[in-house]
């Protein structure tokens, strides 16, 4: 059994993670941290990480980027694995995550869905081959309450594409003005509206044909399930930086 401390436990994703954990036979939420008061009572909820006095194996974080410093400090001091499911980190914060992973077990992914990470692996294999004959565009859609744009998943896919291509490329966020598209551009477009949970589409547009890779999340359950799987995987890790590729390859 993997005992989990859930950060952001009373948010939409936190509640979904709790629901999925309750359905599993290998994971359990034993405590939570949230700024909101709890009325559930299924596990104790603390206002801060340092207040938690319940033993646990792994931290899952579905909160906000400003919680990162406390999470990394706690992980380094106590050598507890932490699953970072939050997106919207700055470059400086990403560097802090990388540095912390030299002494503590840190897991970070732009998307916890197994399906998205399968697509990401496909992109590693095809992007370099297609580039040159195909223009590459990424379109992501989310609900109107999402605060970061483009999404962490769009950047995850885009970074994978750029790393696979040997030539110089650059992001083009949205598109405006009067000029032709340059081949080196990787277009990234963010749409916000309604209650869209998450859609990501990668388009390879060539002469007389278009190749599309698309993932649609129909429920937040896919992200919660991925987080629970990651927690079970990270339970025994002592140091290093891990992601969903490690979970998928371990299956």
Q: List the domain boundaries for the chain.
A: 2-112+220-249, 114-216
CB-CB contact of 106 with 242 (8 Å): yes
Tell me the pairing of strands 240-242 and 209-216.
Answer: unpaired
CB-CB contact of 138 with 172 (8 Å): no
Considering the entire predicted model, what is its pTM?
Answer: 0.82
CB-CB contact of 117 with 111 (8 Å): yes
What is the distance between the alpha carbons of residues 223 and 14, in angstroms, rounded to a whole number?
10
The fold for domain 2-112+220-249 equals Rossmann fold (3.40.50)
Name the burial class of residue 161, with classes exposed (0-12), middle (13-18) and buried (19+) by CB atoms within 10 angstroms of its CB.
buried
CB-CB contact of 134 with 205 (8 Å): yes
Average pLDDT for 164-172: 96
- Does the annotation place 8 within a ligand binding site? yes
Average pLDDT for 224-235: 96
- Does the annotation place 12 within a ligand binding site? yes
Check 146, 189, 235, 237 and give the catalytic one: 146
Predicted confidence (pLDDT) at residue 41 exceeds the cutoff of 80: no
**Helical H segments across the chain, by residue range:** 12-23, 68-78, 91-100, 114-130, 152-164, 221-234, 244-249
What is the distance between the alpha carbons of residues 48 and 237, in angstroms, rounded to a whole number?
24
- Does the annotation place 166 within a ligand binding site? no
**Residue 142 known to be catalytic:** yes
**Residue 200 known to be catalytic:** no
Predicted confidence (pLDDT) at residue 39 exceeds the cutoff of 70: no
Express each pLDDT in 79-131 by its tens digit: 999 999 988 899 999 999 999 999 999 999 888 999 999 999 999 999 999 99
Average pLDDT for 132-141: 97
Check 80, 142, 200, 215 and give the catalytic one: 142
- Does the annotation place 110 within a ligand binding site? yes
Predicted confidence (pLDDT) at residue 26 exceeds the cutoff of 90: yes
- Does the annotation place 9 within a ligand binding site? yes
In terms of Cα–Cα distance, which of 3, 1, 14, 152 is closest to 81? 3
DSSP string for 187-199: EEEEEE-TT---E
CB-CB contact of 170 with 183 (8 Å): no
- Categorize the per-residue pLDDT at 136 as very low, low, confident or very high, splitting at 50, 70 and 90: very high
Among the residue ranges 28-42, 93-107, 142-156, 183-197, the one predicted with the least confidence is 28-42
- Does the annotation place 13 within a ligand binding site? yes
- Does the annotation place 71 within a ligand binding site? no
Q: Does domain 114-216 have CATH number 1.10.630.10?
A: no
CB-CB contact of 44 with 54 (8 Å): yes
What is the distance between the alpha carbons of residues 136 and 186, in angstroms, rounded to a whole number?
5
- Does the annotation place 112 within a ligand binding site? yes
How high is the mean pLDDT of the chain?
A: 94
């Amino acid at each position: 059994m993997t005992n989990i401390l859930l950060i952001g436990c009373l948010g939409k994703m936190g509640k979904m993670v709790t629901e999925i954990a309750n359905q599993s036979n290998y994971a359990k939420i034993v405590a939570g941290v949230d700024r909101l008061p709890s009325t559930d009572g299924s596990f104790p909820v603390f206002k801060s990480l340092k207040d938690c006095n319940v033993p646990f194996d792994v931290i899952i974080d579905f909160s906000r980027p400003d919680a990162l410093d406390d999470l990394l400090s706690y992980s380094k001091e106590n050598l507890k694995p932490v699953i970072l499911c939050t997106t919207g980190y700055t470059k400086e914060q990403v560097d802090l995550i990388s540095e912390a992973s030299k002494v503590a077990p840190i897991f970070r992914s732009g998307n916890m869905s197994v399906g998205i990470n399968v697509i990401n692996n496909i992109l590693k294999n095809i992007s370099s081959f297609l580039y040159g004959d195909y223009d590459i565009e990424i379109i992501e859609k989310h609900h109107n309450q999402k605060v970061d744009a483009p999404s962490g998943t769009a950047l995850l896919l885009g970074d994978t594409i750029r790393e696979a291509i040997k030539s110089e490329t650059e992001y083009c966020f949205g598109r405006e003005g009067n000029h032709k598209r340059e081949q080196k551009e990787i277009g990234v477009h963010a749409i916000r509206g309604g209650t869209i949970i998450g859609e990501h589409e990668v388009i390879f547009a060539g002469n007389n044909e278009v190749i599309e890779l698309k993932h649609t999340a129909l429920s937040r359950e896919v992200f919660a399930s991925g987080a629970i799987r990651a927690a079970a995987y990270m339970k025994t890790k002592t140091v290093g930086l891990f992601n969903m590729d490690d979970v998928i390859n371990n299956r």
